[in-house]
Structure 1
Amino acid sequence: MRFEQLEQFVALGNLRHFRQAAEQTKISTSALTRSIQTLEDEIGCQLVKRSTRSVRLTEQGEMFLSYCKTTLSELELTKKTIKQSLFGRDQQKLVIGYTSEASSIVPMSCGQFLADYPNIKIEMQLQDEHELTRKLQLGEIDISVYLQSASNVVSNIYLPDQLILFVAKHHPLASKDSLRKEELYDFPMYGCFSQSKQVQSMLNEAVEGLNKSSSMKIGNIDQVIEGLKQSSHFAIASIEHANTIAQDPNLVILRTNKDINHEQLVVQTNHHVSRDSHITHLLGLIETSAKSKACTSNM
């Protein structure tokens, strides 16, 4: 069992998608499949339940995922401890990852920080959000900084522009300014057929993302509308049905992330990074810089 296999399993456990996990760990999908099978053979049990449309971990797989994350985190902590023992505190180094959207915040903040702490080295890495999450979990970076829709931070729903969610006017969700996924869990769901194969594929992926694939009822737009008016269901449909829905006074289109432009700064630290005074100082500089950027943007 190799450390890279643990990294590959963590990627699959986080993304629940073989192709995406393979891309993240920079191997082919077939190589990832063989790696997972090898792990299952070594451990002696099934870790992953595979189907044509989803990837789920078994109970043993969830336990092994926790083990992988802990092991990789401990590995990085040990490597850092060894480096500190070799080079001393004066050579302490902080690795900060950030997205392009935060490029007007992080470099400036780091420059101000280095003026106050010249003995601490800083390495800045420009990455996408998924890579930041992976590296932070593995301990490869100390701090990650990115901007995202404020709704994403509280598990709100994102749908492609081609899709919409809607309910009857009397539905409890009809008056919501924005939605969290958790608010949909207690309500059954209707799905409306699309004439476009591409959009239908998006619909299928969205339904699976909402964890409704096993319980959803499907019909044409008229059947779905009639069902909504007589139940507590919510429904998903393609944008081709938007006019029909909007013209019905008894229906309401729900607001999702694609309707919200407000962005929020997200700063995360590796859980092994102690909040020493210099770390707190750097995080304060980042926050101040973000607030200054927001004020400038709103003028």
Structure 2
Amino acid sequence: MRFEQLEQFVALGNLRHFRQAAEQTQISTSALTRSIQTLEDEIGCELVKRSTRSVKLTEQGELFLNYCKATLSELDVTKNTIKQSLFGRDQQKLVVGYTAKASEIVPMSCGKFLADYPNVKIEMQLLDEHELTRKVQLGEVDISVYLSSATSLVSDIHLPDQLILFVSKMHPLASQDCIRRAELSQYPMYGCFSQSKQVQSMLNEAVEGLNKSTSVKIGNITQVIDGLKCSQSFAIASIEHSKTIAQDPELALLKTNKDDSHEQLVINTNHQISGNTHVSSLLKLIEKTAGQLQMNSAPVHS
């Protein structure tokens, strides 16, 4: 069992989403799946319940999540203790990481801060968002600052990444920005076979979740496409068929999530330094500087 596996399990436990957790820990979704399976084999019990709508932890998984967080926290404390013993307790230094979009905010804020706190050293690191997240979690960055697109998801249809919905381009729903469950209820449904047993199970569960299990028509991809083009039906299929669908000029994917995106300022702090007075002063300066630059942002601390 490696510390990286504990970090990956914490990301999955916090996000409850395999793809997002894989992106946060900078590995592929399949690698994350294998990592979780290895943990389950080593511990000897199931940690994660997988379904089409969400990722849920078992009772044992919740216990193990607490263990992972406590272990990684202890690791951070130990690292910081070692650093202090090597470099001295009197040395004050802040490592501030930021993305290119925040390049106006951070240097300006740090300049004002140093005028008031000349004894504090600041190291600024220009990084991408994923690397910032990783370094904050490892305690290598004290403060991270970046601009992120905030998305409001208004659809009540929740499908796993492996499934897609599609229709004929002549279908009334084809041009809509976001599809809700109630809008699908009036239309008949086709389901397309998948070669993967796991994905087929997801398909079956999704059909049941849309209340179509007693009326859905099942077929291969060719039969389903032919059925769509001569009816008002919609269809569900595995992502393995996405290329076939995309290449057909008479078909369109349905959008189940609408992106009402705007940028917000996100400030994350390493919990080891977040209570310090000079850190609070720097955070306030970052917020103030962002406001002076007239950014449409909402500061968030964690």
What TM-score, normalized by structure 1, do the two folds share? 0.59
Partner residue of 1:216? 210
Q: Residue 101 of structure 1 contacts residue 146 of structure 1 at CA under 8 Å; is this kept in 2?
A: yes
Q: Of 134, 137, 153, which residue of structure 2 is paired with 1:157?
A: 153
**Aligned-residue CA RMSD (Å):** 4.4
Question: Helix, strand or coil for the counterpart of 1:273?
Answer: coil
- Relative distance call for 1:10 and 1:255 in structure 2 (3 A) is closer
The amino acid of 2:144's aligned partner reads S
2:288 is equivalent to residue 288 of structure 1: yes
SS in 1 for 2:267: strand
Whichever residue aligns with residue 145 of structure 1, its letter is V
Q: Deviations along 1:39-87, whole A, 9 cap, x unmatched?
A: 2223221112346886443222122123212221221122113322332
User: 1:155-194 residue pairs with structure 2 within 5 A?
Assistant: 156-157=152-153, 164-165=177-178, 190=184
Aligned to 2:111: 111
Cα distance change on mapping 1:282 and 1:84 into 2, 3 Å: same
The number of residue pairs the alignment matches comes to 233
Correspondences of 1:83-94 after superposition (within 5 Å): 83-94=83-94
Indicate if the aligned counterparts of 1:141 and 1:270 stay in contact, CA closer than 8 A. Answer: yes
Unaligned runs of 5+ in 2: 156-174, 193-201, 217-227, 235-250, 298-302
Q: State the alpha-carbon separation in 2 of the partners of residues 89 and 107 from structure 1.
A: 26
Are residues 1:40 and 2:40 paired? yes
Aligned residue type for 2:286? I
Counterpart AA for 1:268: N
Say which is worse superposed, 264-273 or 16-25, in terms of deviation. 16-25
The code of the aligned residue for 1:85 comes to S
What letter matches 2:293 in structure 1? K
Name the one with the larger helix percent.
1
CA contact under 8 A between 2:26 and 2:130: conserved in structure 1? no
2:247 counterpart residue number: none
- d(CA) in 1 for partners of 2:131 and 2:154? 20
Question: Share of identical aligned residues, percent?
Answer: 65
Q: Which amino acid aligns with 2:115?
A: A
CA offset digits 1:78-122 (Å, max 9, x no partner): 211332233224422222232322121112212332333333232
Whether 1:264 aligns to 2:264 is yes
**In structure 2, what residue type is equivalent to 1:63?**
L
Shift in Å, 1:289:
1.0
Contact 2:24 2:133 in 1 (8 A): no
Counterpart mapping for 1:1-299 below 5 A: 1-18=1-18, 21-22=21-22, 24-27=24-27, 31-50=31-50, 55-149=55-149, 152=151, 156-157=152-153, 164-165=177-178, 190=184, 215-217=209-211, 258-259=259-260, 262-294=262-294
Give a deviation string over 1:157-193, Cα, whole Å, max 9, x none: 278xx863367xxxxxxxxxxxxxxxxxxx9774779
What SS does the aligned partner of 1:165 have?
A: coil
Closer, same or farther: CA 158–89 of 1 in aligned 2, 3 Å: farther
Deviation at 1:222, TM superposition (A): 6.7
Structure 1 residue ranges without an equivalent (≥5): 168-186, 198-207, 225-238, 243-253
**Counterpart of 1:164 in structure 2: which amino acid?**
D
Tell me if structure 2 keeps the 8 A contact 1:188–1:216: no
Q: 1:99 to 1:88 in 2, by over 3 A?
A: same
CA deviations 1:238-279 (Å, max 9, x no partner) are: x9799xxxxxxxxxxx995x345x533222322332432211
CA distance in 2, matches of 1:295, 1:142: 23
Contact map agreement 2:96 2:124 (CA 8 A) in 1: yes
**How far apart are 1:138 and its partner, in Å?**
4.1
Amino acid in the other structure paired with 2:86: L
Q: CA separation in 1, counterparts of 2:269 and 2:20?
A: 24
Query: SS at 2:293's partner residue?
Result: helix
Counterpart in the other structure of 2:164: none
Distance 1:57 1:115 in 2: 49
Letter in 2 for 1:117: Y
Query: 2-side partners of 1:50 and 1:296: how far apart?
Result: 38
Relative to structure 1, the CA distance from residue 30 to residue 222 in structure 2 (aligned partners, 3 Å threshold; closer, same or farther) is: closer
